């Protein structure tokens, strides 16, 4: 009997779950540990993780398109900072719902910048996803009445993170044609380990429990990125979109069971719109063969 989950879907499911655990640990560690300190430790572990992978495959560490890889690293640093900041300063489910709108923004940017076809159905799916963001954030100029209970600065950072993450995904799509996935993964932690100490202030020495959180963040987020990169390389958008939507479910579960954060009706409604738009975007894509990737990718 044919398996329910294809290999690409299994990679995405594993990666999505790992990311959700990493997000929970970010929330717990962020009560006292500064964001840039968490990023620095994640970067250090990430370099070791990628080095281990590349050593086993025999692929060179620095890749061939080094200028674009370095740009990918800088964009990745900005995206991770925004993601960490939003997760720490917003309820976990709300942060995940907002950050999850990047498929819609990727589709828009690919249409406007790269000239990729999106079609009326795709534009409608993007509109549904962005409506979901508005429902979660509830800006006063659209909904009237009092302001949303969400931190406006954290919401702004999260929305900026969505745009930067979308740019990073477009860079990965371009690099995946010539570079090993682990090489693409290497540059963000390299940039993080250089820039975090320069930009950071007020670092603290973590407690034993916080060290557990920090090492867990690094391990789960790097492993999640690796599995999701492999999934993107071999699976169609339609199947991937359905699996990645589970990230919102995982976030709501961790928020309710561990953090005591019960999503309100606005978050549930906005999340449902974003999920519907994401799945519609995936189903609107014509199945394409996996891009040519280096041996061992």
Q: What is the mean pLDDT of each run of 10 residues along the chain (297 residues)?
A: 69 91 95 93 89 82 86 93 94 90 84 79 86 80 59 92 89 81 87 92 92 93 83 69 80 92 87 85 53 34
Task: Write the CA distances from 1 to 4, 5, 41, integer angstroms.
Answer: 9, 12, 44
Pair 273, 131: CB distance under 8 Å: yes
- Stated length of the chain: 297
The pLDDT of residue 2 is 47
Residue 23 and residue 17: Cα distance in Å, rounded? 10
The pLDDT of residue 297 is 32
Verdict on whether the full-model pTM lies above 0.85: no
**3-state class of 67 per DSSP?**
helix
The pLDDT of residue 210 is 96
Dihedral Cα 249, 252, 256, 257, nearest 10 deg: 40
Residue ranges covered by each domain of the chain:
7-284
Task: Write the CA distances from 156 to 60, 81, 84, 98, integer angstroms.
Answer: 38, 13, 13, 10
Tokens of 26: 């970010």
Give the residue among 28, 30, 48 at the shortest CA–CA distance from 39: 30
Pair 77, 188: CB distance under 8 Å: yes
The Cβ-side half-sphere exposure at 273, using a 13 Å CA radius, reads 18
The pLDDT of residue 236 is 64
The pLDDT of residue 37 is 93
Pair 44, 186: CB distance under 8 Å: no
Give the residue among 5, 6, 2, 8 at the shortest CA–CA distance from 234: 8
């Amino acid at each position: 009997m044919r398996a329910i989950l294809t290999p690409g879907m299994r990679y995405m499911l594993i990666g999505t779950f790992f990311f959700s655990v990493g997000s929970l640990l970010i929330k717990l560690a962020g009560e006292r540990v500064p964001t840039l300190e968490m990023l620095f430790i994640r970067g250090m572990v990430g370099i070791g993780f990628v080095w281990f992978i590349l050593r086993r495959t025999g692929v060179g560490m620095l890749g061939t398109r080094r200028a674009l890889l370095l740009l990918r690293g800088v964009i990745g640093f900005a995206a991770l900072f925004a993601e960490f900041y939003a997760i720490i300063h917003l309820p976990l489910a709300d942060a995940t719902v907002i950050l999850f709108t990047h498929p819609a923004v990727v589709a828009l940017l690919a249409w406007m910048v790269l000239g990729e076809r999106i079609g009326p159905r795709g534009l409608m799916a993007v509109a549904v996803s962005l409506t979901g963001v508005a429902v979660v954030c509830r800006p006063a100029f659209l909904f009237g009445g009092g302001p949303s209970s969400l931190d406006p600065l954290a919401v702004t950072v999260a929305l900026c993170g969505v745009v930067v993450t979308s740019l990073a995904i477009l860079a990965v799509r371009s690099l995946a044609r010539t570079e090993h996935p682990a090489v693409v993964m290497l540059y963000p932690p390299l940039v993080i380990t250089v820039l975090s100490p320069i930009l950071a202030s007020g670092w603290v020495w973590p407690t034993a429990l916080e060290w557990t959180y920090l090492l867990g963040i690094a391990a789960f987020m790097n492993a999640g990125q690796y599995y999701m990169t492999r999934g993107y390389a071999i699976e169609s958008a339609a199947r991937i979109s359905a699996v990645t939507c589970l990230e919102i479910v995982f976030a709501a579960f961790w928020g309710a069971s561990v953090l005591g954060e019960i999503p309100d009706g606005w978050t549930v409604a906005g999340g449902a719109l974003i999920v519907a738009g994401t799945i519609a975007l995936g189903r609107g894509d014509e199945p394409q063969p996996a891009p040519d990737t280096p041996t061992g990718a």
